[in-house]
Chains A and B, each alone.
Chain A
Amino acid sequence: MQKYSLNMAMAAALVGVVALAQVGAIDLYVQSVLMFMAINVIMASSLNLVNGFMGEFSCGHGGFMCVGAYVGSVLSMMLFTDSHLYGAALLPPQWAVALFPLVLLGGGAAAALAGVIVAVPSFKTRGDYLAIITLAVNYIVISAVHNLDIVGGPRGLTGMRPTIMAMGQVVDLPWMMIWVLVGATGCLFIIRRYVNSTYGKGVIAISQDEIAAEIMSVNTNRLKLITFMVSSGLAGVAGALYAHVVGYLNPGAFDILKSTEAMVMVYLGGMGSLSGSVIAAVLFTLLLEVLRPLQIYKWVIVPLILILLMQFRPEGLMGDKELSDIFPRLRKYFTFK
Chain B
Amino acid sequence: MFKRGVLLLLTLAGCLGLLLAAGCSQEPETIKIGFNVELTGDIPKVGESAKFTAEMIREEINAQGGLEVGGKKYPLEFIYLDNESKPESAVNATLKLVEQDGVMAMIGPNSSKCAVPAGGVCNERQTPMISPWSTNVDTTKGRPWVFRAAFLDSFQAPVAANFAAKQFNAKTTAVLFDISNDFSKAMADTFKQVWEAKMGPGTVLAFESHGAKEQDFSAQLTKIIAAKPDFFFLPDLYNHVALVVKQARHLGYAGPFMGPDSWASAELMALCGKDCVGQFFSTHYAAAGAQGATKDFIDRYKAKYGYVPDDVAALNWDATHIMLQAIQNVGKIDPDLSAQRKAVRDALANIKQFDGITGKMRFDAEGDPIKCAVVVRIAEDGQFIFTESVCPE
A residues at B contact (CB < 8 Å): 26-30, 32-33, 36, 146, 153-156, 158, 161, 242, 245-253, 255, 257, 279, 282-283, 286-287, 289-290, 292-293, 295-296, 298-299, 317, 326-327
Contact = CB atoms under 8 A, between A and B. Distances in A.
A252 B180 contact: yes
A32 B23 contact: no
A317 B124 CA distance: 39
Contact of A253 (B87, B98, B125): B87
A282 B81 CA distance: 21
Contacts of B246: none
A282 B12 contact: yes
Given A155-B136, A283-B12, A250 B19 contact: no
Interface string B368-392: 0000000000000000000000000
A317 B7 CA distance: 12
A154 B181 contact: yes
B116 A245 contact: no
B333 interface: no
Contacts of B98: 28-29
Given A36-B92, A156-B182, A250-B87, A299 B40 contact: yes
Contacts of A286: 12, 15-16, 19
Interface in B270-316: none
Interface string B104-145: 000000001100110011001100000000001010000000
A155 B185 contact: yes
A252 B212 contact: yes
Contacts of A279: 8
A281 to B, nearest CB: 12
Nearest to A154: B185
B180 A156 contact: no
Given A32-B91, A279-B8, A290-B15, A296 B96 contact: no
Contacts of B20: 26, 30
B92 A158 contact: no
Contacts of B23: 27, 29
A261 to B, nearest CB: 10
A320 B386 CA distance: 66
A292 B19 contact: no
A158 B212 CA distance: 22
A73 B20 CA distance: 31
B15 A242 contact: no
Contacts of B44: 296
A25 B114 CA distance: 28
A257 B93 CA distance: 19
Contact of B5 (A33, A249, A251, A327): A327
* Residue among A33, A245, A248 with max Cβ neighbours from chain B (10 Å): A248
B117 A28 contact: no
A247 B39 contact: no
Given A29-B23, A32-B91, A155-B136, 17 more contacts: A27-B100, A29-B98, A29-B99, A33-B92, A153-B185, A154-B179, A161-B120, A242-B88, A250-B87, A253-B86, A282-B12, A283-B12, A283-B15, A289-B92, A295-B81, A298-B40, A298-B82
Interface in B68-98: 80-82, 84, 86-88, 91-93, 95-96, 98
Given A245-B91, A283-B12, A289-B19, A29 B116 contact: no
20 contacts: A26-B20, A29-B100, A32-B95, A33-B92, A36-B92, A154-B184, A156-B112, A156-B138, A156-B182, A161-B120, A245-B91, A248-B87, A279-B8, A287-B15, A292-B82, A292-B96, A295-B40, A295-B80, A296-B40, A317-B8
A257 B41 CA distance: 10
B182 A250 contact: yes
A33 B96 CA distance: 10
Interface of A (DSSP majority class) = helix
Nearest to B11: A283
Contacts of B117: 246-248
Nearest to B17: A290
Nearest to B79: A293
* Residue among A242, A251, A296 with max Cβ neighbours from chain B (10 Å): A296
A9 B299 CA distance: 64
Given A33-B19, A286-B19, A287-B15, A156 B92 contact: no
A289 B17 CA distance: 12
A130 B121 CA distance: 40
Contact of B136 (A156, A298, A317): A156
Contacts of A156: 112-113, 116, 136, 138, 182
Contact of A326 (B5, B19, B124): B5
B182 A155 contact: yes
Contact of B120 (A154, A247, A249, A287): A247
Instruction: List the 4 closest pairs (A to B, CB-CB), nearest first.
Output: A248-B117, A29-B95, A154-B185, A29-B99
* Residue among B84, B88, B91 with max Cβ neighbours from chain A (10 Å): B88
B1 A28 contact: no
A264 to B, nearest CB: 15
Contact of B2 (A242, A253, A327): A327
Contact of B39 (A29, A287, A296): A296
B186 interface: yes
A158 B116 CA distance: 8
B18 interface: yes
Given A155-B136, A286-B19, A327-B5, A252 B113 contact: yes
A259 B59 CA distance: 41
Contacts of B112: 155-156
Given A156-B136, A252-B113, A292-B96, A246 B82 contact: no
Contacts of B16: 286
Contacts of A161: 120, 124
B95 A154 contact: no
B92 A32 contact: yes
A246 B93 CA distance: 12
A154 B81 contact: no
Contacts of A296: 39-40, 44, 82
B212 to A, nearest CB: 7
A139 to B, nearest CB: 9
A29 B88 CA distance: 12
B116 A253 contact: no
Interface in B1-50: 1-2, 4-5, 8, 11-12, 15-16, 18-20, 23, 39-40, 42, 44
A283 B14 CA distance: 11
